[in-house]
Amino acid sequence: MISLVKTLTQRSLFILSAVLTPSICMAIEPTQIVQQSLDATYYAGNDMRTKVSMKLINPKGDVREREMTMLRINLAGGEQRYYTYFHRPTDVKGTAFLVQKFPGKEDDRWIFVPAIKLVRRIASDDKRSSFVGSDFTYEDVSGREVADESHTLVGEEVFEGRPVYRIESKPVKAIDYSRRVSLIDKERWLPLSEEYFDLRNRPSRVFSAVKVEQVADVWTITARTMKNLETGYRTEVVYEDIAYNIGLEADIFTERYLRNPPQQWVK
């Protein structure tokens, strides 16, 4: 009798597990996954400062290098600011890039070009344009809104030893790509790979998180690449001297400081 009860109990537990497991797996919505990934990638900490080394590599292997300092601050209500100052090469030294992000609205973007001493506002339509000649777009640098795309959880798998969600995202409005497939780390929430498809559904660009490290208890992508499959160009980026929660002030993320960079933070 005891053996029978034990067998029935085991069967009951197995059936209960089988019934509950799909519900548990489906508990997280793809939009939530993408939002968590955006938060982990672009909003970690209250603020952030990092030195950035960028290599622009053509199909022949020729390399152009850029060095810059990037600052970021998160504000109340989900607003955010980015400031990027270029140190070299000489032809871009002193160039400064500012992004002011507002939830539910288009970002405001400005760039200061020292050669002509001009501050130019970047139109919202230009957010998909190349960021200073690289294979990354302005949007890749400062992030996008989760509502800009519709998201589908395609599956779950293991990618380079990490458990990931495979998410397919399609732009709500027609732009230069038809869909984007992301592999998002299930524990760290960072995108480990993103593949963009053109309007004919052919692979056009591929993003890779080359190195992920813990910086002050924050999982951070410290090296990444973007390959343009149509042109054969690629851009490699390395982040160094990363620091979170350093006490940046919001007033330096204004148009005034494009012409007069905050030296204590960008030197």
> Per residue in 62-91, pLDDT tens?
999 999 999 999 999 889 999 999 999 998
**pLDDT for position 29:** 95
* pTM for this prediction: 0.85
Would you say residue 31 has pLDDT above 80?
yes
* Beta bridge pairs of residue 150: 170
| pLDDT recorded at residue 8 | 40
pLDDT for 174? 83
Q: Could you tell me the CA-to-CA distances from 143 to 111, 113, 197, 210 in Å, in that order? A: 17, 23, 18, 18
- From residue 127, alpha-carbon distances to 1, 144, 161, 199 in Å are 71, 9, 33, 18
pLDDT value at 192 more than 70: yes
Q: How confident is the model at residue 103 (pLDDT cuts 50, 70, 90)?
A: confident
Would you tell me how many other CB atoms lie within 10 Å of the CB of residue 43? Answer: 15
Average pLDDT, the chain: 89
Q: Answer for the pair 126, 108: CB distance below 8 angstroms, yes or no.
A: no
Distance (Å, whole) CA 208 – CA 183: 10
From CA 96, how far away is CA 87, in angstroms rounded? 10
In this predicted structure, what is the pLDDT of residue 147? 92
Spell out the domains of the chain, with CATH numbers in brackets. 28-266 (2.50.20.10)
Per-residue confidence (pLDDT) for residue 26, from 0 to 100: 52
